[in-house]
Structure 1
Amino acid sequence: MSAKPGDRLKDEGTRLQVTAAGATAGVVSRFVIAPLDVVKIRLQLQTHSLSDPLSTRNLHGSPIYKGTLPTLLSIFRSEGLTGLWKGNLPAELLYLCYFAVQFTTYRQTTLLLHSTLGESTLPPSAESFISGAAAGATGTTATYPLDLLRTRFAAQGNDKIYKGFLPAIRQIHHQEGYKGFFRGLAPALGQIIPFMGTFFAVYETLRPKLSKLELPFSSGGALAGTIASVTAKTGTFPLDLVRKRIQVQGPTRGGYVHKNIPEYTHGTFGTMREIVAREGVRGLYRGLTVSLVKAAPASAVTMWTYERALRFYGSFGTGGNNVKGI
C-alpha cells in the first residue's frame, strides 16, 4: 500500500518520541527567531500612522518604528542586545509546551480519524486540515498564559512593568485575576484554527513532492514548511494583531514602550473595527512583513529539527517503533 502524504509525520514514532521531537523543535526554533518576534510585537502594538505629520501623532513618548532592520537597530541601541530577547523565558516555555501538545494532538487526532472513519475515507488534505486545526486549538488554549506573558515582556521598554517571570505571574493574578491570563484568547483561537489547518494541509501536500529535490542548506520538508507557514500566516494575520493589542490591555496598558495603545473593550470584531476606523485597513497588517520574514526560518527550523529529532529519539526504540529513514 502506498504511503499517504503525511504518513511519516503522523504515524512514525511512539507518542513519547513525537512529543519529545515536537518540544525540541519548538525550543530551537524559538531561540533562533526571538529577535524577529520582538520586532513583530513592537510593530503590531504601534498605533500611530507613519504617514501622518509628526506634529499630529499622539505618541506620548512612544518610539517610532519603521521597517524590520531599523526596528532591530533601534531596540538594540536603546535597550541593548538583551532587548532583542525580551520575553524569551516565557516564550521558550511556550514553544516547548505548545509544540509538544501540538504535534501530539495532531498525531492522536489523525489516528482517531483513522480508527473512526477509516484510513482512506477523507482526502489527505482534509484529514491534515482537521488534525492541524485540532492541534492548534489545543496547543493554544493549554499554553495561552505563557503567550500573554511573552507579549507583555516583549512590549515593555527600559521602564519595566514586570521584574521577572514569577513576579509577573503574581502581579497579573493580583491585578487582573485568572481572567487576565486569557486576554485575547478568542482572536487567538479564531486565528490558530484556520492557520494550523491550512499549514498542515499545505505542508503535507507539498512535502512528498519537494522532498525529492536536492536543496542547498535545506530539505524538502523545510521548504514545504516555509511555504505552508507563509500561506497560512498571511490569511490570518489581522487576528494575530488583534490578539496582541488585547493582550496588553488592563491596568498596565499605558506602561509599555508604546504608551498610546488605545483601550479596546468591544471584543475581537469590535477591536478590528476600531483599528480600521483609526488606522485604516493597513493597521490590521502592521508587522506583516517581519512576520513573513520570521515565518520562513521559524518553520524551516521547526520542521527540519522535528524530523531529525524524531529520527534521533526513534533510534532508541525497538522493532516497529523505530523511525525509518528521513
Structure 2
Amino acid sequence: MAATEGEKLKKTNPLFSLASGTFAGAVEGFATYPIEYTKTPPNPLAIARDTVRDHGITGLYSGCGALVVGNAVKAGGKLSGPRSLLSGLGAGMMEAIFAVTPSETIKTKLIDDQKRIKPKYPPGLVSGSMAIIRDEGLHGIYRGLIPVMLRQGANSAVRFGTYSTLRNFVQGSSRPGQPLPGGITFGIGAIAGIVTVYATMPLDVIKTRMQSLEARTLYKGTFDCTFQILRQEGVLAFWRGATPRLARLMLSGGIVFTVYEQSIESLERMFG
C-alpha cells in the first residue's frame, strides 16, 4: 500500500525537515534572484543590461541577502508542516509577519534604490537595512504588511496545495511507496509555480507597489493603492510583470521541492 503524505511526514525527523527547508529556501533565493531583480516593468532586459553596465554583474544581486535570508526562514518553517491548502494559508500569513515582510521590504527598497543614478542606501544586507531603519523607522520595513500577508497566504495555499495534490497523484498512480525522482519532483514544483503566479499576481503587484521607495507619498494604504492601480492603469495592470515572475516561480518551485526532498533523503541516509 502506498504511504500517505501524512505517514511520510510522521516518519521524517522534524529537525531534518527544518534543516532541509531552510537549505532549500536559501538555494532557491540565491539561484533565482537575478529574475526577481529584473521583474519590474516596463523592460526587464533593459534593466538587466543597464544594471550590469553601471554596476557590474554583482549589481543584479543588490538586496539579494535580504531575499536569501527571508527565503531560508520562511521555507524552513513551512516545508516541515502538513501540505494542505488550509495549513498553507495559515503558515503563509505567519511567515509574512515574522519573516517575509521585513526581508522583502528591505529587498524591494534596495533594488529600487540601486536603480537610481545616485543610490541613497549601501547595497549590503546589514548596512542597507540599518540605513533604511534609520531613515524610516521599524514601521518602514513593515509597510505593505497586509498585502504581503494576503499574497503570502495565497502563495502558500496554492503552491503547496497544488504540489501536494500532484505529488500524491503521481506517486500513488505510478510509484507507490517509492520516492519520486528529482526530475519529476522538479516538474511538479514548476507546475505548482505556474498555478501560483496567475492565481496570486494581483496581490504581488500591490505588495511591490506598497513596499517601493515612493509608497509613502503615493498611497494612503493598501486599498488606496489597489484603487489607484485599477483607476489609472486598468485591470490588466494587476498581471503586469507576470512573465518574469512566472520564470522565477517555475524555477523556484522546482528548486525548492527538489532540494528539499533530496536533502531529506540525504540526512536520513546519513543519520537514520
> Would the TM-score normalized by the shorter structure come out above 0.5?
yes
CA distance in structure 1 between the partners assigned to 2:154 and 2:102 by the alignment: 21
State yes or no: 1:268 paired with 2:222: yes
State yes or no: 1:74 paired with 2:50: yes
Map 1:93-108 onto structure 2 (within 5 A): 93-104=69-80, 107=81
Cα deviation, 1:201-229, whole Å, max 9, x if unaligned, reads: 1111111334548xxx9522221111112
Number of aligned residues: 261
User: What residue number does 1:132 align with?
Assistant: 88
Contact preservation (8 Å) 2:192, 2:250: no
Misfit runs of 4+, over 4 Å: none
Structure 1 segments unaligned to the other structure (5+ residues):
44-64, 111-126, 254-260, 319-326
Report the alpha carbon displacement of residue 26 of structure 1 after superposing the two structures with TM.
0.8
Computing the radius of gyration from Cα coordinates, the structure with the larger value is 1
- Code of the residue aligned with 2:3 in structure 1: it is A
CA distance in structure 2 between the partners assigned to 1:170 and 1:33 by the alignment: 25
Cα deviation, 1:124-167, whole Å, max 9, x if unaligned, reads: xxx71112112212222111211211111122225222113333
Sequence identity, in percent? Answer: 24
Cα deviation, 1:219-276, whole Å, max 9, x if unaligned, reads: 2222111111211221111111111111124xxx3xxxxxxx7833332222111012
CA distance in structure 2 between the partners assigned to 1:262 and 1:175 by the alignment: 12
Higher helix share: 2
State yes or no: 1:198 paired with 2:158: yes
CA distance in structure 2 between the partners assigned to 1:183 and 1:128 by the alignment: 29
- Deviating more after overlay: 80-89 vs 166-175: 166-175
CA distance in structure 2 between the partners assigned to 1:194 and 1:7 by the alignment: 26
CA distance in structure 1 between the partners assigned to 2:205 and 2:244 by the alignment: 13
CA distance in structure 1 between the partners assigned to 2:132 and 2:50 by the alignment: 29
From the superposition, tell whether residues 263 and 238 of structure 1 become closer, same or farther in structure 2 (CA, over 3 Å): farther
From the superposition, tell whether residues 306 and 177 of structure 1 become closer, same or farther in structure 2 (CA, over 3 Å): same
Contact preservation (8 Å) 1:246, 1:264: no
Contact preservation (8 Å) 2:26, 2:71: yes
Of 184, 208, 218, the residue aligned with 2:144 is: 184
From the superposition, tell whether residues 210 and 70 of structure 1 become closer, same or farther in structure 2 (CA, over 3 Å): farther
Taking only aligned residues, the RMSD between alpha carbons, in angstroms, comes to 2.3
From the superposition, tell whether residues 303 and 280 of structure 1 become closer, same or farther in structure 2 (CA, over 3 Å): same
Structure 2 segments unaligned to the other structure (5+ residues):
176-180
User: What residue number does 2:242 align with?
Assistant: 288
User: What residue number does 1:21 align with?
Assistant: 20
